[in-house]
Amino acid sequence: MQLQLASWPEVERYLETSKVVLIPIGSTEQHGPNGLIGTDAICPETIARGVGDEKGWLVGPTINFGIAQHHLGFPGTLALRPTTLLALVRDIVDSLAHHGFDRIYLLNGHGGNIATIQAAFAEVYTEHSLGRSGNSVSPRCRLRNWWSGTRVGELTRKLYGSADGSHATASEVALSYYAHPEAVKEVEMSPRVAPGGPIFDAVDYRRRFPDGRIGSDPSLATIEAGEKLYQAAVDDVADDLERFRAAE
């Protein structure tokens, strides 16, 4: 069930039997010459909805923005400050806990968000520990990156090896193409595999990584591979979420 397509009585009935909710979180940022700017939001959103449909969990609206300052040298990127994302995540988690959700699972599509999401969880726990949250429920929160399961890891290595890279990866572009076949772009990469290196500010990033990719060859991305990655990710996340839900 998708929260945005549900009515409040449906959510109230859901809460009688389940306190689990999935929230996809991503970013709006450049993904190289053939990658979609919405890639980091599209991937977790598609996977979360797949898990929700398969297992009957509630899936909330996608947080489409993240920590993307280093991509601001490329048009289309929209970046939040860490303090903005922290406040946003904290308010959403607090709202969910207010309604009684106690297993809040953020499925993340952007590595740059990890530290800030964890900091937001720490804020939520701190307020509750100090008796100031105002919520009767103390929610357990989990952050999971869609690509970190064993099935996705094995499949990605098999499909792309080291050419998957670390930004505008072949695997994430493939998954976004599976979700949006109407947006597939045929672009030749030069060089085939992009350079690697560290990330600092936006000017430095564009100088090091002129077409936006890091270490990847996303021209290898296909809809067919994206479908396999999607199914692997749905299975990985469904297992991980079940362990999180059932844990003592």
Nearer Cβ to Zn ion, position 93 or 175?
Answer: 175
Q: Residue 242 Cβ, how far from Zn ion at the closest point, in Å?
A: 26
State yes or no: residue 94 binds Zn ion (CB under 5 A): no
Q: Which residue's CB atom is positioned nearest to Zn ion?
A: 40
Nearer Cβ to Zn ion, position 50 or 66?
Answer: 66
Q: Residue 96 Cβ, how far from Zn ion at the closest point, in Å?
A: 25
Question: Binding to Zn ion (CB under 5 A): which residues in 47-76?
Answer: none
> CA distances (Å), 53 to each of 1, 29, 50, 199, in order?
7, 28, 5, 37
Q: Residue 176 Cβ, how far from Zn ion at the closest point, in Å?
A: 9
Contact 164, 170 (CB under 8 A): yes
Q: Give the pair of three-digit tokens for residue 106.
A: 């953020």
Binding-site string for Zn ion from residue 153 to residue 192, where x marks contact by CB under 5 A and - marks none = -------------------x--------------------
**In the chain, what is the straight-line distance between the N-terminal and C-terminal CA atoms, in Å?**
25
Question: What letter would DSSP give residue 190?
Answer: S
| Residues paired with 35 in a beta bridge | 31
Nearer Cβ to Zn ion, position 123 or 211?
Answer: 211
Which of 40, 45, 94, 235 touches Zn ion by CB under 5 A? 40
Cα angle value 217/207/188 (rounded, 5°): 30
| Residues paired with 21 in a beta bridge | 58, 104
Question: For binding to Zn ion (CB under 5 A), which residues are involved?
Answer: 39-40, 172
